[in-house]
A and B are shown apart, each in its own frame.
Chain A
Amino acid sequence: MKYVDEFRDPQAARRLLADIADAAAGQPSRKFMEVCGGHTHAIYRHGIEALLPASIELIHGPGCPVCVIPMGRVDDAVAVACAEGVTMCCFGDMLRVPGGESTLLEAKARGADVRIVYSPLDALALAERLPDRQVVFLAVGFETTAPSTAVTLLQARERRVDNFSVFCNHVTIVPPLKAILDSPGLDLDGFLGPGHVSTVIGTRPYRFVPEQYGRPLVTAGFEPVDILQSVLMLLRQLSEGRCEVENQYRRVVSGDGNDRALALLREVFVVRPHFEWRGLGFIAQSALAIAPEFAPWDAELRYEVPGVRVADPKACQCGEVLKGALRPWECKVFGTACTPETPIGTCMVSSEGACAAYYNYGRYSSRSRIPVHAT
């Protein structure tokens, strides 16, 4: 029980593990998917899989916004970055995401002006500082970051920053959950719902999971004990024959979400009819585009992009990993041709990706499960 001693509250963790062992003992094997990349990272970092009874399997879901960007969109971003007079701004973890042709980092090495920003507001400030450049912000992320892009676009319009635009790749969390529930052969028994996305959207949008698909969902915090408690809550729902949305992360997440952020999303974005997700294919109404009122700041309208769908490399099995059908180490190129230094697939790029998290922390512990003895 080496890992548990390193938790900040080892006693609580031991109690929870004992309760989980009790609850799991009377049930068939269970597969729970954690949707959020932050959870995936925490699970590997803390060796949580090895502490759980062997009958409980955690499947790592698609909740890493960098990992779900399809190669064709990266090519489009590279095309914008290489356009005359453009300065492309992005978050650091987008730089090494492979496109069909190249990464943004390679485009930068070839002379494109690609810069890392912390916030979309930094990209807007840069546009004001560089009036002779066309500054484009490469927007990625779920509902946690989309409101920030919305505020930035409102400020761009208010301050009439005409040399600024946004290449929008924001996605929403509910449609991929639906896609996963609809995909054949994935027998999931429940979900650990995302933490910080839920601060924006609240817990209500997840109700379809129990109501239409008969699976429980528990929004979970990021601490090891949060994750353990959420697993226990799922097991108890199943053993008591309940099926509902529960909120383990009450201290941060409310049922209603953040009204202001949701209003901003409605004001600045429209839902796309469909959007391609890496590994999951096209999912209806799963992404946000910039609303017509903000068209002058929409990089997709301003620049010619190839807009071509690029098939994932044959060797790469990110799609299967993202759906939880394959464990990271079961991918043919994991850790050999595909590493965090030279990623082939997106799951290896972002530190929230299942493959990168497993490569960094899990390689030596998850394959052999350690029996749990609560002490």
Chain B
Amino acid sequence: MCVGIPAQVVELQPSGPHTAIVDVDGAQREVNTIMVDDEPLAVGDWVLLHVGFAMSKIDAAEAAETLAFMRELGSVYDEEIEAFTSDLP
């Protein structure tokens, strides 16, 4: 929850302002982008995701490094991905 996961924007505003579809390791989900919308967001941009919210923009190199690092962390990453891909309970 406290370590953000890098996600790549694949679609803008699927459900109106401040929404985007992002991809994490092949899994996709709608997230809220209000916290990073002071600068325009583009498809292909990378963001750090916390509990369904993009909290900051990062560059592609940082995203790749963080993803690799999170995979090494094992269980934490798996839990995040599992939570990210889960449907409404």
- Complex Cα spacing A222 to B77, Å: 13
Q: Given A116-B86, A196-B4, A197-B2, decide whether A41 and B76 contact each other with a Cβ distance below 8 A.
A: yes
Give chain A residues whose Cβ lies under 8 Å from the Cβ of B84.
118
Judged by a CB distance under 8 angstroms, whether B65 is at the interface is: yes
Interface centre among A37, A64, A148, A223 (most CB of B within 10 A): A148
CB-CB under 8 A from B1, the residues of chain A are 65-66, 91, 93, 140-141, 144-145, 352
Binding site secondary structure of chain B: mixed
Within A117-164, the residues touching B (CB, 8 Å) are: 117-122, 125-126, 129, 140-142, 144-145, 147-148, 151
Whether, in the assembled complex, B66 has its beta carbon less than 8 Å from a beta carbon of chain A, the answer is yes
Interface string of A193-211 (1 = CB under 8 A from B): 0111101100000000000
**Contacting pair B52 A118 (CB below 8 A):** yes
Contact indicator A148/B51 (Cβ below 8 Å): yes
Flag whether B58 is at the interface (Cβ < 8 A). Answer: yes
Q: Are B56 and A121 in contact (CB under 8 A)?
A: no
B51 touches A260 (CB 8 A): no
Contacts of B73 in A (CB 8 A): 41-42, 45
Q: Chain A residues with Cβ under 8 A from B62's Cβ?
A: 251-252
CA distance A66 to B1 in the complex (A): 10
Q: How large is the interface on B (under 10, 10 to 19, 20 to 34, 35 or more residues)?
A: 35 or more
Contact with A along B1-31 (1 / 0, CB 8 A): 1111000000000000000000000000001
Interface residues on A, range: 35 or more
A117 and B69 form a contact (CB under 8 A): no
Query: Which chain B residues border A64 with CB–CB below 8 Å?
Result: 2
Distance in angstroms between the alpha carbons of A37 and B3 in the assembled complex: 9
Q: Which residues of chain A have C-beta atoms less than 8 A from B65's C-beta? A: 8, 223
Q: Nearest B residue to A116 by beta-carbon distance? A: B89
- The verdict on A279 contacting chain B, using a C-beta distance below 8 Å, is no
Across the interface, do A144 and B79 meet the contact criterion of CB distance under 8 Å?
A: no
Residues 29-64 of chain B, each 1 if its beta carbon lies under 8 Å from chain A, else 0? 001101111100000000010111101101100100
Q: Is the CB of A258 within 8 A of B75?
A: no
Whether B3 and A260, one on each chain, are in contact in the complex, defined by CB atoms closer than 8 angstroms, is no
- A148 proximity list for chain B (CB < 8 A): 32, 50-53
Q: Does A285 contact B (CB under 8 A)?
A: no
A-B contact pairs, 21 of them (CB 8 A): A89-B89, A117-B89, A118-B52, A120-B51, A121-B32, A122-B52, A125-B88, A129-B88, A141-B2, A144-B2, A144-B50, A144-B55, A151-B32, A151-B53, A195-B3, A196-B50, A199-B56, A222-B69, A223-B66, A260-B38, A351-B75
Known: A199-B4, A352-B2. 12 other contacts (CB 8 A): A38-B2, A42-B73, A89-B89, A118-B51, A121-B52, A141-B2, A144-B55, A151-B53, A222-B69, A251-B59, A260-B36, A352-B76
Taking Cβ atoms with an 8 Å cutoff, the residues of B that contact A are: 1-4, 31-32, 34-38, 48, 50-53, 55-56, 58-59, 62, 65-66, 68-69, 72-76, 79, 83-84, 86, 88-89
Q: In the A-B complex, list the 9 residue pairs whose CB atoms are closest, starting with the nearest.
A: A119-B52, A115-B89, A38-B3, A118-B83, A148-B53, A199-B56, A119-B51, A261-B35, A148-B51
